[in-house]
Structure 1
Amino acid sequence: MLQKILSNKIRLAQFLFLVGLLILIRAFEDILFYDPFLDYFKNDFANLPLPNFIPFQLFFGLLFRFTMNTVLSLGIIYVLFKDVQMVKFALVLYYFFFMLLIISFFFIIYYVNGHNNLALFYVRRFLIQPIFVILFVPAFYYQKQK
């Protein structure tokens, strides 16, 4: 598969452009998104109380960031596989995982009362980083080979 990508320079340029946009999202996260947990998790968060936040603003900030990462990740999947059905399936998976993760995120904040900050850290990490594309690309490649 890597040989196919390297032989097709337009697809390689598209792939690199989309990955570059994912990098830019990460580089400008402080400017683009409302997330008081950015600074919180850069410190020794195990001993700190949760930061003050506005729930609706935090929800929409996470939704906006997850949506941007999802759109770019779906673009990467399409560029790599040129399969619309695969992209539709990935979209359903992204939607399902977003619902599961956002409910878990706010459940941990409100009902665990800061006693499990590590779980909050990892749930939030899956919401704000394009981790699913790293999981989906090898899985879809394997599925396509079968």
Structure 2
Amino acid sequence: MQGLPKNKSKWFLIAVLVGLLLCIRAGEGQWFYDPLLTYFKGDYQNLPLPPLDSFRYGVHLYLRYGLNSLISMSILFVVFRQREQLRFVAYLYVGLGLILGITFFLLYNSSTDAPKLLIFYVRRFLIQPLFLLLFIPAFFYQNKHR
């Protein structure tokens, strides 16, 4: 127990923010338009990709990505309290979001032979806060070696 920080409000805030990420995940079917949710839960390798309303899907995809990104950046700020790192992460989230979103729609619309597993993983990076799992250890390492 000695390793735990004395600042309990910091841990409470982190728990609330993680809870918000879990709420987004739990409500994904009701709050966001995503026909690929049920598609990728089934035997998708033998089925054609479902039709998408590209504009509506793009809005919901980026809304979810934005919410996850804001909450993830809040967690990073609570943990590290460094505005310079937060600014850097914000640029990374915007850049990676644009690259992954464009890649997703290019793969989805390119042909019926697009590798479905690649579409699955690009989409996964957009709808899940996976970058947070990469940034936390990277920042711990960077702060340790300063």
- TM-score computed with the length of structure 2 as normaliser: 0.95
Is contact 2:101-2:126 (8 Å) kept?
Answer: yes
Change (3 A) 1:105 1:5: farther
> In the alignment, residue 7 of structure 1 is paired with which amino acid?
K
Deviations 1:53-103 (A, max 9, x none): 100000001000000000000000000001111111100000111011001
Which segments of 5 or more consecutive residues in structure 1 lack a partner in the other structure?
none
Identify the residue that residue 76 of structure 2 maps to in structure 1.
77
Once the two structures are TM-superposed, the CA of residue 52 in structure 1 deviates from its matched residue by 1.4
Deviation >4 Å, runs of 4+: 2-5
Is contact 1:18-1:75 (8 Å) kept?
Answer: yes
Identify the residue that residue 29 of structure 1 maps to in structure 2.
28
Written as runs of structure 1 = structure 2, the 5 A alignment for 1:1-146 is: 6-146=5-145
Which segments of 5 or more consecutive residues in structure 2 lack a partner in the other structure?
none
Counterparts of 1:72 and 1:65 in 2: how far apart (Å)? 11
Identity within the alignment, %: 41
Count of aligned residue pairs for this structure pair = 145
Is contact 1:5-1:80 (8 Å) kept?
Answer: no
Once the two structures are TM-superposed, the CA of residue 114 in structure 1 deviates from its matched residue by 4.0
Counterparts of 2:4 and 2:126 in 1: how far apart (Å)? 29
Counterparts of 1:5 and 1:73 in 2: how far apart (Å)? 21
Is contact 2:77-2:86 (8 Å) kept?
Answer: yes
CA RMSD of aligned residues (A): 1.4
